[in-house]
């Protein structure tokens, strides 16, 4: 089977380096980042875009901007309480700041909604609408211009951000930084990891400390909860993959993996597969790892690996895909059907079928620099999904300040009855041909 690449590409461009992507609803994506505490003139904070499909490609319109002062937003996690409350946990230096995001319907004049923000250079941050970009070019008056001011007002959704609580989550001796944050699917536990090598579990959303887990020797790179929120997978720069029991805080399994006896590698990312079968059997786990070239080898090339673990208790890998470059980001769709990978050196994005790791989409040089985050469009969040001829779509961001989308169309298959008719016609045609030639 094969897919043809759709007419995808740039969704939006921001004037700060984006490091984090999160889907708030089925239509709203949050982008976080910034220039840090140095006085570079680059703001820190996040923006929220509303996504839509115009019949040919995806489009994005900014609806909310929020500035975080001198603290860059390096990592985020969201939790949507079935549409009742939306929570955002944002890593800002050594602190995790919790926000409550509320949806409010406002009256939009000429398609614009009021935006409460303190972002500097806000006009540069917002992706302009077509009507705005055209208005900046001098041209003769037209009937469309004269009637545009009489367009009816429309109701639109605005997302209001309110800071709630914060807690220090990393206590590194040199420069404490929270590297990653995750919220369990049941919304009861938040996990954080940073430069001090500790995994800390917090009661959510109260942010009371539950457990402090020590198993890694170096800074944490990634964390993920299993679908049932009972186990936690963590990877760090020490090369270890550890599975934890969330309730007790105890270590269940520690795994190490190397491509060969002479070649070493360290894990970079980990993501559990979320399917309906996960309630009946242990879930599969996807990981990214990158090789460390040996000092005595002439070939200094780095290799990247995408792994599908079949049995975590035995530590067996079911599928493996090898890259001739370093991998940076990993995402798994919420229905468990697809996996996406982002690369470091070429800024490329690939999409695979989850169970077989068959590649179905390759977007070379999707960004001019390395991929900083990937996020699939959801199928299970509140609200109607975006209507499009797309089976799966993944959003990517990079320090080139671009937010892009990459999708594959639905696989078009023939109905069973039509296949049966074609088989019958083929058999009859074969008999007629054999009779005609006297066989």
Burial 228-267 (b: 16+ CB within 10 A, else e): bbebbbbbbbbbbbbbbebeebeeeeebebeeeeeebbbb
Read off the tokens for 281.
């059997």
Instruction: Tell the residue number behind the tokens 């798994």, with chain if given.
Output: 332
Q: Which of 19-33, 69-83, 90-104, 184-198 has the lowest mean pLDDT?
A: 69-83
pLDDT at 38 (0 to 100): 66
pLDDT at 341 (0 to 100): 98
Q: Which of 36-50, 149-163, 210-224, 253-267 has the lowest mean pLDDT?
A: 149-163
Give the global pTM.
0.82
pLDDT at 413 (0 to 100): 53
Residue pLDDT, tens place only, 234-257 = 999 999 999 999 999 999 999 999
Whether the per-residue pLDDT at 179 is higher than 80: the answer is: yes
pLDDT at 115 (0 to 100): 52
pLDDT at 428 (0 to 100): 87
Nearest-10 Cα torsion for 327, 333, 339, 341: -20
Domain-wise residue ranges, the chain: 9-437
Q: Residues 6 or more apart from 345 whose CB is under 8 A from it?
A: 325, 326, 370
State the distance between the two ends of the chain, measured CA to CA, in whole angstroms: 36
Whether the per-residue pLDDT at 201 is higher than 90: the answer is: yes
Residue pLDDT, tens place only, 320-366 = 999 999 999 999 999 999 999 999 999 999 999 999 999 999 999 99
Average pLDDT for residues 271-281, to the nearest whole number? 73
User: For residues 376 and 339, what is the distance between their CA atoms, to the nearest angstrom?
Assistant: 9
The whole-chain average pLDDT of the chain stands at 84
pLDDT at 298 (0 to 100): 61
Q: Which of 29-33, 64-68, 103-107, 132-136 has the lowest mean pLDDT?
A: 132-136
Which position has the higher pLDDT, 130 or 353?
A: 353
Residue pLDDT, tens place only, 49-96 = 999 998 888 999 999 999 999 899 999 999 988 767 899 999 999 999
Residue 138: alpha-carbon gap to chain centroid: 40
Sign of CA dihedral 190, 217, 314, 320: positive
Average pLDDT for residues 151-167, to the nearest whole number? 80
pLDDT at 243 (0 to 100): 96
Residue pLDDT, tens place only, 223-238 = 999 999 999 999 999 9
User: For residues 58 and 398, what is the distance between their CA atoms, to the nearest angstrom?
Assistant: 18
Residue pLDDT, tens place only, 108-125 = 655 454 454 444 433 333
Fold of 9-437: Methylamine Dehydrogenase; Chain H (2.130.10)
Q: Which of 223-232, 279-288, 303-312 has the lowest mean pLDDT?
A: 279-288
Instruction: Tell the residue number behind the tokens 């090339």, with chain if given.
Output: 301
């Amino acid at each position: 089977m094969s897919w043809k690449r759709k007419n995808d590409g740039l969704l939006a461009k921001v004037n700060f380096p984006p490091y984090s992507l999160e889907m708030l609803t089925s239509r709203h994506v949050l982008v976080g980042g910034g220039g840090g505490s140095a006085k570079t003139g680059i703001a820190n904070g996040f923006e929220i875009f509303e996504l839509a499909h115009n019949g040919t490609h995806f489009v994005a319109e900014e609806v909310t901007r929020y500035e975080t002062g001198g603290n860059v937003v390096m990592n985020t996690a969201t939790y949507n309480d079935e549409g009742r409350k939306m929570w955002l946990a944002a890593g800002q230096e050594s602190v995790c700041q919790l926000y409550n995001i509320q949806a409010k319907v406002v009256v939009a004049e000429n398609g614009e909604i009021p935006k409460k923000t303190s972002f500097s250079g806000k006009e540069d941050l917002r992706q302009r609408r077509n009507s705005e970009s055209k208005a900046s070019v001098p041209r003769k008056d037209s009937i469309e211009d004269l009637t545009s001011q009489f367009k009816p007002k429309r109701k639109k959704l605005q997302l209001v951000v309110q800071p709630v609580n914060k807690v220090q989550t990393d206590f590194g001796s040199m420069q404490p930084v929270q590297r990653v944050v995750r919220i369990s699917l049941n919304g009861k536990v938040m996990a954080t990891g940073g430069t001090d090598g500790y995994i800390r579990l917090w009661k959510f959303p109260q942010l009371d400390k539950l457990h402090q887990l020590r198993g890694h020797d170096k800074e944490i790179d990634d964390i993920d909860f299993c679908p049932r929120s009972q186990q936690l997978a963590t990877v760090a720069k020490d090369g270890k993959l550890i599975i934890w029991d969330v309730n007790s805080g105890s270590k269940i399994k520690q795994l190490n993996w190397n491509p060969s006896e002479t070649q070493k590698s360290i894990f970079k990312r980990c993501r559990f597969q979320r399917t309906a079968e996960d309630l009946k059997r242990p879930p599969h786990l996807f990981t990214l790892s990158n090789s460390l070239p040996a000092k005595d080898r002439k070939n200094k090339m780095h290799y990247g690996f995408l792994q599908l673990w079949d049995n975590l208790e035995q530590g067996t890998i079911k599928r493996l895909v090898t890259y001739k470059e370093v991998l940076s980001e990993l995402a798994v769709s919420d229905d468990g059907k697809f996996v996406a990978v982002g690369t470091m050196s070429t800024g490329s994005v690939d999409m695979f079928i989850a169970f077989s790791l068959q590649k179905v989409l390759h977007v070379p040089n999707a960004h001019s620099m390395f991929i900083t985050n990937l996020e699939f469009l959801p199928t299970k969040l509140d609200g109607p999904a975006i209507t499009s001829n797309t089976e799966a779509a993944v959003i990517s961001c990079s320090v080139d300040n671009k937010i892009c989308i990459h999708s594959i169309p639905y696989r078009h298959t023939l109905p069973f009855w039509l296949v049966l008719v074609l088989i019958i016609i083929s058999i009859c045609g074969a008999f007629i041909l054999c009779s005609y030639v006297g066989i």
